[in-house]
Amino acid sequence: MKKTVFFGALTVAGLAAGVASAATLDDVKARGSLNCGVTTGLVGFAAPDANGVWEGFDVGICRAVAAAIFGDPTAVEFVPTTGQTRFTALASGEIDLLARNTTWTMSRDTDLKFDFVGVNYYDGQGFMVPKALGVTSAKDLDGATVCIQTGTTTELNLADFFRTNGISYEPVPIETNAEAQQQYLAGACDVYTTDASGLAATRATFENPGEHALLPEIISKEPLGPLVRHGDNEWGDIAMWVLNALVSAEEMGITSANIAELSAAPTNNPEINRILGTEGELGAMIGLEADWAKNAIAAGGNYGELFEQNIGEATPIGLARGLNAQWTEGGLIYSPPFR
Amino acid sequence: MSDTHAQTVAYVRDTMIAETAPPTTEVGVIKWLRENLFSGWMNTILTLASLYVIYWVVSGVGPMFTNSIWNAGSLSECREILALEGLTSHDGFCFGVLKDRWQQLIFGFYPNDAYWRPVLALLVFFVGLTPVLFDSAPRKLFLATAAAPFIMFMLLWGGSIWLPIVVGLGIVVGYVALTYLSPINGLVGTLGAIILPILFWLYLAGPIAGALTSIAPIGLEYVPSKDFGGFTLSVVIGIVAIILSLPLGILLALGRQSDLPIIKYSAVTFIEVIRGVPLIVWLFTASLLLNYFLPPGTNFDLMLRVIIMVTLFSAAYIAEVVRGGLAALPKGQYEGGDSLGLNYWQSMQLIILPQALKISIPGIVNTFIGLFKDTTLVLFIGLYDPIGLAGAIRASTDWNGIYWELFIFIGVMFFIFCFSMGRYSLYLEKKLQREHR
């Protein structure tokens, strides 16, 4: 908590000094690669493989943005950031885009002077307990020891939840998800709380996942999304519309399998044509080539494909689409029209 | 002569009794056991208790090693293999992760086809170190010591071969300036030897290296600092910081004892400020605050920043250790130096420092070992030291949930490094033993 405030203050101080430079797109083009901030490692969202190649859901966003700018999804320098260094890295210009399962909150948007460009995963904070504890609701957790990651919004939500319900808890502060897993399994805490996606991923790695239960309460809204520095709206627009293009592509049925065919010649669906640049001038409006969205989608597939490959039900993490289904299928994933 | 007694004193033996073996309780293993382990009821109890503890640990951990699985591509596969043998994951280590990822733990993200470069750099380092560590080594090896930093830089980071060569030429420029200017005037010579190389590096080195590169583009593939990781990162940070912090620390310790107020108080302030703040704060300063202070667009290598911070930090500690050595010398040693008519540097070099440093060896090596282990703190600023890489390996779906195997490996590696440093320090202490005890 204190750390958060401290680094937040640093961030603001830095911006007051006017360090953030204006035309990020020009800088990125001159550099020839996108500096994209990711986590130092979170299952399904971002992790280097045995060859050092980054993979994951957040990584997919970085690659899509790089592909939209350069036509090359590998033109990305991944900068691993921790919970503490992520905001300063973005504010100081070390990275151009932060795609690090970061929750969109008002203070981060305003006080820390960032712009969230959308939501790529709707998450919420949950609780995991051993079934042996016999707890069925988070409201029964009076007096429990709780493993909680420091410097995150989950820490604040937890305090809020226990205060509103008039029950007490004892926090066990931990730094990383890995540490939390170990502490929880070793019995250092009764409860582990973090985003529900993280809990599911963590539980999937246990030897006996059946012995642990996720409690029904989801105590917070955690819209996770990529963000950029405040003050360069053109750059923010690029990141935002790349994300929207991935979402629209799923809605319109543009996949990495059929994109070559759909973009070869104008189809009879005008919105698909506008997205893929076979019709209209949308690319020029954000300062990119006409085939920007085509490259972004071809980089790793549309939103649904990215989801299924990295965190979907076919993967060990096995997350259901839930809130993250398209709006047409009862979810919250919704892109403004390409027009 | 010899039979005199045989005739006069009949009862005296005239032959030697054959030697018999000493009682079994007074020799060999049994004697050692009796004296060291069972010399009283208290020691007997302690011995038995210790034996039980050892048995308990070995019987608990031993099977985990003997049952360990080396051929598995993921944690779940490993658990399946163990389950086929009727075991749970608590009965055997899953060292498959090391087989799968050991290269990453050692080399980080260094290009696969260039792994020989860090290895060769380490060899070059040891060759360069030999004449420094062992005075039985041929003196000509000091040439290798002088060349080692440049060769190592070339091997580790690569790029054009001309850059380290031209930088090395700067030192030659300084040497030439010293040789040719000193006869004119000592001060001019010294100043020339400092200023000319700096001017050379600032204004001439870049263009010359560029020109040479365009004429003869020889070199190795450039490897950016962000690809360094694992033990390569720890060892590079550790070695550079160790080598740089020793002279800096000695200078600071001498500065702190100086009679000149400006030098004295700068040294005191530096030492106290650096030492008074945790290393992790300095690392955050290096990675976060500097980003704000430096002009935007400056590309100041994060690894270099970390090396500078770690060096300064450990120099402050070395300074205090060396000051302890200086303080331990009797005043007569300083006065002896003065009475021989030696100037300050001569008396330091010939009389004071050799003794003070000898006294400080355990403390200095202690600081170095601490420094080497502290390199794992760079994890918190997003660099991939071995612990950070363990986290990254766990973040892959294959190996999520694996802990002990990685930590055991990292622990063993660190132990090897730190233990060797400790043994060398003991060797050095013995070799320099001058007191009569």
Query: How do residues A169-205 score in pLDDT, each as one tens digit?
Result: 999 998 777 788 888 988 999 999 988 888 888 888 8
Query: Nearest chain A Cα to B385, which residue?
Result: A40
Cα A87 to Cα A95: distance, rounded to the nearest angstrom:
10
Show which of B201, B220, B239 is a domain's final residue.
B220
Query: Is the Cα dihedral A297, A300, A302, A303 positive or negative?
Result: negative
Nearest to B288 among A88, A181, A316 (CB): A88
Do B35 and B166 sit in the same domain of this protein? no
Do B188 and B334 sit in the same domain of this protein? no
pLDDT beyond 60 at A18: no
| DSSP code per residue over B312-368 | HHHHHHHHHHHHHHHHHS-HHHHHHHHHTT--HHHHIIIIIHHHHHHHHHHHHHHHH
pLDDT beyond 80 at A19: no
**Same fold flag, A2-122+223-329 and A125-220:** yes
Phi, psi angle pair for B4, to nearest 5°: -55, -55
Cα A252 to Cα A30: distance, rounded to the nearest angstrom:
34
Do B264 and B168 sit in the same domain of this protein? no
pTM of structure? 0.82
pLDDT tens digit string along B90-114? 788 999 999 989 999 999 999 988 8
pLDDT tens digit string along A106-159? 999 999 999 999 999 999 999 999 999 988 888 889 999 999 988 777 888 899
Residue A96 to residues A19, B304, B377: CA-CA distances in angstroms? 13, 22, 26
Contact between B403 and A182 using a beta-carbon 8 Å cutoff: yes
Nearest to B292 among A14, A46, A315 (CB): A14
How close B419 gets to chain A, by Cα (Å)? 28
List, in order, residues 6 or more apart from B413 with CB less than 8 Å away. B231, B386
Do B362 and B320 sit in the same domain of this protein? yes
Q: What angle do CA A134, A136, A140 make, to 5 degrees?
A: 90
How close A154 gets to chain B, by Cα (Å)? 20
Output the furthest CA–CA distance in chain B (Å, rounded).
113
Interface check A97 vs B, CB under 8 A: no
Interface check A334 vs B, CB under 8 A: no
Both structure tokens of A231? 């003050």
Cα A315 to Cα A55: distance, rounded to the nearest angstrom:
13
Q: What is the pLDDT of residue A1?
A: 39
Cα A85 to Cα A40: distance, rounded to the nearest angstrom:
11
Is residue B121 within 8 Å of B99, Cβ to Cβ? no
**CATH code of the domain covering residue B278:** 1.10.3720.10
Contact between A93 and B297 using a beta-carbon 8 Å cutoff: yes
Interface check B397 vs A, CB under 8 A: yes
B93 located within any domain: no
Query: Nearest chain A Cα to B297, which residue?
Result: A93
Do B167 and B248 sit in the same domain of this protein? no
Say which residue the tokens 């948007």 belong to. A109
How close B178 gets to chain A, by Cα (Å)? 43
Do B214 and B306 sit in the same domain of this protein? no
Burial of A276 (C-beta count, 10 Å sphere; 0-12/13-18/19+):
buried
List of chain B residues whose C-beta atoms are within 8 Å of the C-beta of residue A81:
382
Cα A72 to Cα A75: distance, rounded to the nearest angstrom:
6
Is residue A96 within 8 Å of A33, Cβ to Cβ? no
Virtual torsion, Cα A42, A43, A46, A47, nearest 10 deg: 90
B122 located within any domain: no
- Length of chain B equals 437
Q: List the A212-214 sheet strands across, edge first.
A: A169-174, A144-149, A191-195, A125-130, A212-214
Is residue B315 within 8 Å of B252, Cβ to Cβ? yes
Burial of B60 (C-beta count, 10 Å sphere; 0-12/13-18/19+):
exposed
Interface check A204 vs B, CB under 8 A: yes
Cα A21 to Cα B131: distance, rounded to the nearest angstrom:
51
CB pairs under 8 A between A and B: 110
How close A274 gets to chain B, by Cα (Å)? 36
Cα B253 to Cα A69: distance, rounded to the nearest angstrom:
55
Contact between B291 and A94 using a beta-carbon 8 Å cutoff: yes
Virtual torsion, Cα A131, A136, A137, A138, nearest 10 deg: -10
Is residue A124 within 8 Å of A196, Cβ to Cβ? yes
The CATH number of domain A125-220 is 3.40.190.10:
yes
**Which of A39, A49, A128 best probes binding to B when mutated, by most B CB atoms within 10 angstroms?**
A49
**Which of B400, B402, B407 best probes binding to A when mutated, by most A CB atoms within 10 angstroms?**
B400
Burial pattern B338-361, b for ≥16 Cβ within 10 A else e, equals: eeeebeeeebbeebbbebbbebbb
Q: How confident is the model at residue A2 (pLDDT cuts 50, 70, 90)?
A: very low
Virtual torsion, Cα B152, B157, B163, B165, nearest 10 deg: 10
Q: What is the pLDDT of residue B72?
A: 87
Q: What is the CATH number of domain A2-122+223-329?
A: 3.40.190.10
Cα A235 to Cα B269: distance, rounded to the nearest angstrom:
45
Do B187 and B320 sit in the same domain of this protein? no
SS3 string of B410-433?
HHHHHHHHHHHHHHHHHHHHHHCC
Both structure tokens of B156? 């580790």
Q: What is the pLDDT of residue A147?
A: 92
Both structure tokens of B112? 């696969």
Do B284 and B339 sit in the same domain of this protein? yes
B377 located within any domain: yes
Contact between A85 and B401 using a beta-carbon 8 Å cutoff: no
What sections of B37-115 are H helices per DSSP?
41-66, 75-84, 96-107
pLDDT tens digit string along A241-297? 999 999 999 999 999 999 999 998 889 999 999 999 998 899 999 999 999 999 999
How close B95 gets to chain A, by Cα (Å)? 15
Contact between A50 and B395 using a beta-carbon 8 Å cutoff: no
Contact between B380 and A20 using a beta-carbon 8 Å cutoff: no
Q: What angle do CA B394, B58, A207 make, to 5 degrees?
A: 35
Q: What is the pLDDT of residue B435?
A: 67
Is residue A22 within 8 Å of A81, Cβ to Cβ? no
Residue B28 to residues A145, B40, B240, B268, B396: CA-CA distances in angstroms? 57, 19, 49, 57, 56
| Mean pLDDT along residues A326-334 | 94
Cα A179 to Cα A197: distance, rounded to the nearest angstrom:
17
How close A34 gets to chain B, by Cα (Å)? 14
Is residue A135 within 8 Å of A215, Cβ to Cβ? yes
Both structure tokens of B282? 């300095």
Residue A316 to residues A192, B70, B126, B397, B420: CA-CA distances in angstroms? 20, 22, 46, 7, 43
Cα A235 to Cα B306: distance, rounded to the nearest angstrom:
31
Residue B64 to residues A58, B67, B92, B93: CA-CA distances in angstroms? 37, 5, 4, 5
Instruction: Give residues 223 to 262 of A whose Cβ lies within 8 Å of B.
Output: none
Is residue B344 within 8 Å of B331, Cβ to Cβ? no
Do B167 and B57 sit in the same domain of this protein? no
Interface check A42 vs B, CB under 8 A: yes
Residue A141 to residues A127, A128, A155, A160, A211: CA-CA distances in angstroms? 10, 11, 16, 14, 18
Nearest to B89 among A46, A50, A207 (CB): A207
Do B271 and B409 sit in the same domain of this protein? yes
B390 located within any domain: yes
List of chain A residues whose C-beta atoms are within 8 Å of the C-beta of residue B112:
51
Residue type, B145: T
Do B24 and B106 sit in the same domain of this protein? no
B163 located within any domain: yes
B127 located within any domain: no
B125 located within any domain: no
**Which of B98, B113, B291, B305 best probes binding to A when mutated, by most A CB atoms within 10 angstroms?**
B291
List of chain A residues whose C-beta atoms are within 8 Å of the C-beta of residue B289:
10
Say which residue the tokens 């039979």 belong to. B3
Q: What is the ipTM of this complex?
A: 0.78
List, in order, residues 6 or more apart from A38 with CB less than 8 Å away. A45, A46, A54, A56, A58, A59, A62, A78, A79, A80, A81, A99, A100
Burial of B183 (C-beta count, 10 Å sphere; 0-12/13-18/19+):
exposed
Do B338 and B282 sit in the same domain of this protein? yes
Interface check B376 vs A, CB under 8 A: no
Show me where the domains of chain A are located.
2-122+223-329, 125-220
Q: How confident is the model at residue A68 (pLDDT cuts 50, 70, 90)?
A: very high
Residue B140 to residues B146, B165, B172, B243, B378: CA-CA distances in angstroms? 11, 20, 18, 21, 38
How close A292 gets to chain B, by Cα (Å)? 26
Residue type, A225: G
List, in order, residues 6 or more apart from B368 with CB less than 8 Å away. B242, B314, B421
Cα A255 to Cα B66: distance, rounded to the nearest angstrom:
49
pLDDT tens track of chain B, all 437 residues? 555 555 566 677 778 888 888 888 788 888 888 888 888 899 999 999 999 999 999 998 898 888 888 988 888 888 889 888 888 777 889 999 999 899 999 999 999 888 999 999 999 998 888 888 777 778 788 888 888 888 898 899 888 888 888 888 888 888 888 788 777 777 777 777 788 888 888 887 778 887 887 887 778 888 888 889 999 999 999 999 999 999 999 999 999 998 899 999 999 999 999 999 999 999 988 887 777 777 766 667 888 889 999 999 999 999 999 999 999 999 999 999 999 999 888 899 899 998 999 889 899 999 999 999 989 998 888 888 898 899 889 888 888 888 889 999 999 999 999 999 899 888 888 888 776 55
| DSSP code per residue over A215-283 | -S-----EEEEEEEETT-HHHHHHHHHHHHHHHHHHHHT--TTTHHHHHHS--S-HHHHHHHTSSSSHH
Show which of B195, B220, B245 is a domain's final residue.
B220
Is residue A73 within 8 Å of A79, Cβ to Cβ? no
Show which of B200, B220, B240 is a domain's final residue.
B220
List, in order, residues 6 or more apart from A213 with CB less than 8 Å away. A128, A129, A130, A131, A135
Domain that includes residue B262, residue range: 99-110+226-431
In the 8-state DSSP scheme, what is residue A288? S
Q: What is the pLDDT of residue A13?
A: 43
Mean pLDDT taken over chain A? 88
How close A166 gets to chain B, by Cα (Å)? 34
Cα B231 to Cα B110: distance, rounded to the nearest angstrom:
11
Domain count, chain B: 3
